[in-house]
Structure 1
């Protein structure tokens, strides 16, 4: 049988076009980066510690008169809010997942893209938005800072926490994410200025014990607070450490910044009469009979 050359060309062309292209990259499902058993147990341990601390701080508050409970109430509120936020995180109600993609480059095959979904604890930022201003009130009132400077410090603190929250929901290598982080750091510097410069000038008018105590506890607080953005950069920021390590790091810092700070403040506060302001008026007595409105009274013509 003689095969014509044109028939061979037709057969070869048909064979070359009948095979579908073989995919070089197989899509993979998202990888979840979330807390393990160690992280979850750590959250529950902090829940218990914050609950015990809150009860103890409230008990200390009842040992003094209402006029001298300002620091006690502020500090008790700090650990109470921390207890609620950690309870939300431990039960899974204060968490969500943030997606980000990592691209790996290859020489002989197309680049591969792996999607990750990392667990982010938004309840932690709610905690910081409430507790850190309360903590600043403790320090600024101890120093005797002016109302204007206190307002600036508290506002900068809220800006700092919110910028950290916005940054936590950004992509790992996105410039906008680190832009939010830079704004948070700038706000933190404003807080440092208020405590280290204006606070030191304000407390200079008080006795030596109060000055020494403020320098110690304010310096301690600023050192602890400097560690928070470092942990953030390794955890939510750069995704260098896993969620378990993130939980443990924040747990240690929160315990040092809240219960330890609170007990140190109140034990020293109660032993130093100079740092125990007595608040009268509305704080302890409410609105008195003078100036109150009475139903049925007629105004004089």
Structure 2
């Protein structure tokens, strides 16, 4: 009897242990399975970044530290969603799925993005040699992009699309910073002039980032916004985008950063130096 009970309880029980009480349009077990898969990839990426960091001098780990943070925050977010936690029931504006009702909206996803996306943008900006003020502005703009999606997702009326519009406008600022400002800064780096392949690699990465992050509002419109697809399909859509954005594109930036001169970028931590104190001349 105990063996049968153990067998019956094997597998993913997150949706049963943490039920979607109050949400009529909710995640199912297959969706939770997908979230566990993405969590595993994000966790493995985090560990991989830590291992790579061990082979880099401590004073040159700037990109590695940011990458570890981004992957770790994303791992926590996906662990939460896989456990069917970190969500709120929001009344839908449209009735495409199940005639409407209370839809399960994972705010944990947006918290993870709020913490990880700015770190990814900082990696991209500093890779191109952008100054601190401009890089921080890019990180701030991408957070406005995310907050617009979060607030819109938990609003049940048509006003949600106003927040979506604000978020998309903020993303346009990010695109300008990445495509125009960062590329112009990259072309001025002497170390990249020595290895022109890095410029080509960076252009491909930027193109991928702009394309992938531009698909998030489309997914939002089909899921939290328009209630066209189920929360499980929403998770697959967002999950694929996150997997491309972090384990693939950010890893490409991290590996390419090893070809750059950290000191030229102004990101190296100077070694501790002891300065001799001048002797005081005796007063006559």
Query: Cα offset for 1:102?
Result: 5.6
Partner of 1:132: 117
Q: How does 1:15-94 map to 2 (within 5 A)?
A: 32-94=24-86
1:156 aligns with 2:141: yes
Kept after mapping to 1: 8 A contact 2:46/2:71 = yes
- TM-score normalized by structure 2? 0.80
Larger Rg: 1
Partner of 2:90: 98
Q: Within 1, Cα distance between the matches of 2:47 and 2:110?
A: 23
Q: What SS class does the counterpart of residue 33 from structure 1 fall into? A: coil
Partner of 2:166: 183
Kept after mapping to 1: 8 A contact 2:124/2:253 = no
**More off after superposition, 67-76 vs 95-104:** 95-104
Q: Within 1, Cα distance between the matches of 2:143 and 2:274?
A: 38
Partner of 2:250: 262
**More off after superposition, 212-221 vs 191-200:** 212-221
Q: Within 2, Cα distance between the matches of 1:91 and 1:246?
A: 16
Deviations 1:160-210 (A, max 9, x none): 111111100112xx3311011100010000001111111111111122233
Which sections of structure 1, spanning at least 5 residues, go unmatched?
1-29, 105-113, 291-301
Q: Within 2, Cα distance between the matches of 1:31 and 1:120?
A: 9
Deviations 1:33-68 (A, max 9, x none): 001121010011111111111111100001110111
Q: What SS class does the counterpart of residue 92 from structure 2 fall into? A: strand
Partner of 2:200: 212
Query: Cα offset for 1:115?
Result: 5.9
Query: Cα offset for 1:229?
Result: 0.7
Q: How does 1:108-257 map to 2 (within 5 A)?
A: 116-171=101-156, 174-206=157-189, 207=193, 208-257=196-245
Q: 1:38 to 1:273 in 2, by over 3 A?
A: same
Kept after mapping to 1: 8 A contact 2:94/2:227 = no
Kept after mapping to 2: 8 A contact 1:43/1:251 = yes
Deviations 1:261-296 (A, max 9, x none): 2322222333x2446856123xx65xx778xxxxxx
Query: Cα offset for 1:211?
Result: 2.0
What's the C-alpha RMSD, in Å, of the aligned pairs? 2.2
1:279 aligns with 2:264: no
Q: What SS class does the counterpart of residue 89 from structure 1 fall into? A: helix
Query: Cα offset for 1:77?
Result: 1.1
Q: Within 2, Cα distance between the matches of 1:88 and 1:152?
A: 29
Kept after mapping to 1: 8 A contact 2:23/2:89 = no
Kept after mapping to 1: 8 A contact 2:93/2:158 = no
